[in-house]
């Protein structure tokens, strides 16, 4: 006759063994799941890190400037002009003389524009730019801009100096001084540069309630005599920016980019020899 105690004990031992195996299996399963989750998370983080490029910062005239790129935007383009902006060294660089170069280039069927943004706001000051090159001879869709801009404040809190023929519009007086919104009466002064050489100075003096603009032949903070003055304008209207957090931008972009024909040569370069905020 079988020993019931021994049978019960054997059954108990089998159950204990099976339980141990189940516990071991579940432990293995849990650790496997945690391992997979951890690896998926790490891979995702690395992929996101690859997707998010580090901002390129360059030094020019004693200031740090952020180089704009549209790579991470949803559309691949950014304002102004619905353009592609590149932070490539082909588009933005400082040469051995310490001069800043902005260039529009053509790559893989696309035109890439250039822009730099001062990393900190300087507030009410006189902003002076010494430029090298015939900005009056840009192709008609090219725009060179020197301006302050307050993030998140479109069509306002902006002071502009822009060199362009605007696609042929207002070709007799293409260059402009402006305070946004520039479609308001009295907020724009248009004129023709009529340059006689490669070196020009352009400035605006931003003070509470007033902005004074000026352009000179040559590189002078104050022209030697009135003959060097290209144009001057003073604005004291209601749209003078009141928030001193607006940051300085320098850009080179394309007006009506979608209307430019493939046969047109719009590659352009703007060289800034120096920038001062006094």
Domains: count for the chain: 2
Q: Are residues 156 and 75 part of one domain?
A: yes
Give Cβ neighbours of residue 245 (< 8 Å, ≥ 6 apart). Answer: 121, 123, 150
Q: Are residues 188 and 250 part of one domain?
A: yes
pLDDT score recorded for residue 247? 95
Nearest to 131 by CA among 241, 232, 226, 252: 252
**Dihedral sign computed on CA atoms, order 245, 246, 250, 256:** positive
Residue found under tokens 């040569």? 265
What's the pLDDT tens digit per position in 96-145?
Answer: 999 999 999 999 889 999 999 999 999 999 999 999 999 999 999 999 99
Q: Are residues 5 and 65 part of one domain?
A: no
Average model confidence (pLDDT) for the chain?
A: 85
Nearest to 239 by CA among 166, 170, 150: 150
Give Cβ neighbours of residue 231 (< 8 Å, ≥ 6 apart). Answer: 175, 177, 189, 191, 213, 214, 215
Q: Looking at the chain, how many residues does it have?
A: 278
Nearest to 156 by CA among 212, 78, 81, 240: 240
Q: Are residues 159 and 61 part of one domain?
A: yes
Q: Are residues 230 and 270 part of one domain?
A: yes
- Look at residues 52, 76, 93 and tell me which one is the last residue of a structural domain: 52
Q: Are residues 27 and 142 part of one domain?
A: no
Phi-psi region of 97 (alpha: psi -120 to 50; beta: other; left: phi over 0): alpha
Q: Are residues 241 and 169 part of one domain?
A: yes
Q: Are residues 126 and 21 part of one domain?
A: no
Cα–Cα distance measured from residue 43 to residue 53, given in angstroms and rounded to the nearest whole number: 16
Q: Does the pLDDT value for residue 49 go beyond 70? A: no
Share of the chain above pLDDT 70, in %: 80
Any idea what the CATH number is for the domain that residue 196 is in?
Answer: 2.60.120.200
Q: Are 115 and 267 in contact (CB under 8 A)?
A: no
Mean pLDDT of 182-205: 93
Please give the residue range of the domain that contains residue 31: 1-52
């Amino acid at each position: 006759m079988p020993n019931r105690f021994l049978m019960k004990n054997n059954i108990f031992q089998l159950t204990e063994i099976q339980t141990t195996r189940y516990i071991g299996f579940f432990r293995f399963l849990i650790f496997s799941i945690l391992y997979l989750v951890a690896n998926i998370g790490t891979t995702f983080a690395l992929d996101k890190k690859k997707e998010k490029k580090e901002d390129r910062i360059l030094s020019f005239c004693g200031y740090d400037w952020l180089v704009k790129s549209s790579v991470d935007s949803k559309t691949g383009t950014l304002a102004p002009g619905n353009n592609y902006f590149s932070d490539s060294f082909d588009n933005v660089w400082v040469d051995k003389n310490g001069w800043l170069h902005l260039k529009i280039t053509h790559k893989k069927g696309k035109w890439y524009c250039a822009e730099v943004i001062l990393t900190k706001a300087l507030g009410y000051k006189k902003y002076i730019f010494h430029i090298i090159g015939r900005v009056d001879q840009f192709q008609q869709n090219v725009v060179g801009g020197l301006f302050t801009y307050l993030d998140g404040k479109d069509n306002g809190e902006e002071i502009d100096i822009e060199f362009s023929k605007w696609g042929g519009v207002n070709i007799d007086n293409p260059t402009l001084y402006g305070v946004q919104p520039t479609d308001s009466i009295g907020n724009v002064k248009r004129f023709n540069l009529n340059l006689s050489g490669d070196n020009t100075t352009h400035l605006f003096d931003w003070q509470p309630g007033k902005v004074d603009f000026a352009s000179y032949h040559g590189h002078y903070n104050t022209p030697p005599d009135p003959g060097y003055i290209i144009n001057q304008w003073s604005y004291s209207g209601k749209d003078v920016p009141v928030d001193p957090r607006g940051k300085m931008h320098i850009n080179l972009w394309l007006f009506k980019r979608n209307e430019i024909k493939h046969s047109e040569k719009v590659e352009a370069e703007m060289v800034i020899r120096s920038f001062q905020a006094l």
